[in-house]
Amino acid sequence: MRAMRLHAATQLLRAELLDCRQPRARELLLRVSACGVCRTDLHIVDAELPITRRPLTPGHEIVGTIVAHGPACQRFPIGARVGVPWLGYACGACPFCLSGRENLCDQAQFTGYHRDGGYADFALADERFCLAIPDAYTDAEAAPLLCAGLIGYRALRAAGEARRIGIYGFGAAAHIIAQVAKYEGREIYAFTRPGDRAAQQFALGLGAIWAGDSDRPAPELLDAAIIFAPIGGLVVAALQATNKGATVVCAGIHMSDIPAFAYRHLWGERAIRSIANLTRQDGEEFLALAPRAHVATTVQTYDLDAANRALADLRAGRVIGAAVLIP
């Protein structure tokens, strides 16, 4: 099979031909039909996350068809279409797992980070952590739901019952979860890179009632804010933009340092919280909700061999919606 492999941090992925191993125990072998290109992939390639293994095949928004399964597999038949998200394994026995917080498991393994991912023709995955894909979506349309959608969903739930929500960084996750928020009757205020009129128009087209530069204040105080951009300074900006009792949700796996700020910006029972990974329950809930909410993903597709260009476009802010590799 072809695979795009990372051999050293901050270097380009290398196209290689690899042997395709048969699945063991509860593994599924998938023919990859689409794999999203996520900002977490950038953090891995750019060495902003600790190195876990090299060489590595990135990619954790995998949509594929089962072509073989291990002897202990029971959930899905051959030929079924499934998705593989970021959470690839959790132990199931630690206090976090036993309390419904498998996203915090110390033994967790993540797809495209600890385990080879979907920048390839084929991928292996633990069937217990795979998700059924709604029929309403094509392969390319479904791929961003598996991380951008799931992390966005978990972040939106962390915002509680907030009605006016600011979203900082209007990329793949934001463009999905803004549609869910609108479906739930909330108001979205979109904050983009200064001067990014295309992103602002994109947000307005998806139902945001206001869109502007991230260094500008919102037209009114917000009940909550969700930060998708990996910029620590936006935490301070979001605190200043929110009302008393608001929650500022940091939804990325990596963020630059948060600068010092005056206590008055936090006072008034404002709260800052992070979102770490996702659970299988998040996946089941969100993939059932997305078709009901008529969530439509905007995707920009690339050939598998163009993975480096897709990452460069994402890094430079040239992707509207989500980037998706098609083997």
Residue 319 has pLDDT above 80, yes or no: yes
Residue 10 confidence (pLDDT): 72
Q: How do strand 322-326 and strand 299-303 relate by DSSP bridges? A: parallel
In degrees and rounded to multiples of 5, residue 133 shows phi and psi of -95, 130
Residue 8 confidence (pLDDT): 83
Residue 56 confidence (pLDDT): 96
Amino acid at 312: A
Residue 148 has pLDDT above 90, yes or no: yes
pLDDT, mean of residues 51-58: 91
Q: Do 177 and 149 meet the contact criterion of CB atoms below 8 Å apart?
A: yes
For residue 51, name the pLDDT band (cuts at 50, 70, 90).
confident
For residue 30, give Cα distances in angstroms to 44, 258, 271. Answer: 23, 40, 42
Residue 312 has pLDDT above 80, yes or no: yes
For residue 251, name the pLDDT band (cuts at 50, 70, 90).
very high
Residue 279 confidence (pLDDT): 98
How many H-runs (helices) and E-runs (strands) does the chain carry? Answer: 9, 17
The neighbour count for residue 269, using CB atoms within 10 Å, is 9
Instruction: List all residues 6 or more positions away from 46 whose beta carbon is below 8 Å from its beta carbon.
Output: 9, 10, 315
Residue 9 has pLDDT above 90, yes or no: no
Residue 11 confidence (pLDDT): 81
The residues with which 300 forms a beta bridge, in sequence order, are 323
In whole angstroms, give the CA distance from residue 72 to residue 29.
Answer: 13
The half-sphere exposure of 144 on its side-chain side, counting CA atoms within 13 A, is 26
Residue 22 confidence (pLDDT): 94
CATH of domain 153-274: 3.40.50.720
Place of tokens 């998806």: 206
Q: Do 250 and 237 meet the contact criterion of CB atoms below 8 Å apart?
A: no
Q: How do strand 242-250 and strand 222-227 relate by DSSP bridges? A: parallel
- Least confident stretch, 43-52, 57-66, 235-244: 43-52
Amino acid at 258: I
Taking only the tens place, the pLDDT of each residue in 160-187 is 999 999 999 999 999 999 999 999 999 9
Of the candidates 233, 315, 228, the one whose C-alpha atom is nearest the C-alpha of residue 274 is: 228
The neighbour count for residue 243, using CB atoms within 10 Å, is 14
Same fold, 2-147+278-326 and 153-274: no
In whole angstroms, give the CA distance from residue 57 to residue 235.
Answer: 32
Residue 44 confidence (pLDDT): 95
Give the domain ranges of the chain: 2-147+278-326, 153-274
| CA angle, 9 then 277 then 262, to 5° | 90
Taking only the tens place, the pLDDT of each residue in 200-246 is 999 999 999 999 999 988 899 999 999 999 999 999 999 999 999 99
Instruction: List all residues 6 or more positions away from 78 whose beta carbon is below 8 Å from its beta carbon.
Output: 66, 67, 68, 69
Residue 302 has pLDDT above 80, yes or no: yes
Residue 53 has pLDDT above 90, yes or no: no
In whole angstroms, give the CA distance from residue 100 to residue 197.
Answer: 41
CATH of domain 2-147+278-326: 3.90.180.10
Q: Do 79 and 34 meet the contact criterion of CB atoms below 8 Å apart?
A: no
Place of tokens 């061999």: 305
Crossing angle (nearest 10°) for helices 148-158 and 172-183 = 50
pLDDT, mean of residues 40-54: 91
Residue 48 has pLDDT above 80, yes or no: yes
Taking only the tens place, the pLDDT of each residue in 74-126 is 999 999 999 999 999 999 999 999 999 999 999 999 999 999 999 999 999 99
In whole angstroms, give the CA distance from residue 49 to residue 46.
Answer: 8
Q: Give the chain's mean pLDDT.
A: 96
* Helix ranges restricted to H, 13-63: 39-45
In whole angstroms, give the CA distance from residue 103 to residue 264.
Answer: 33
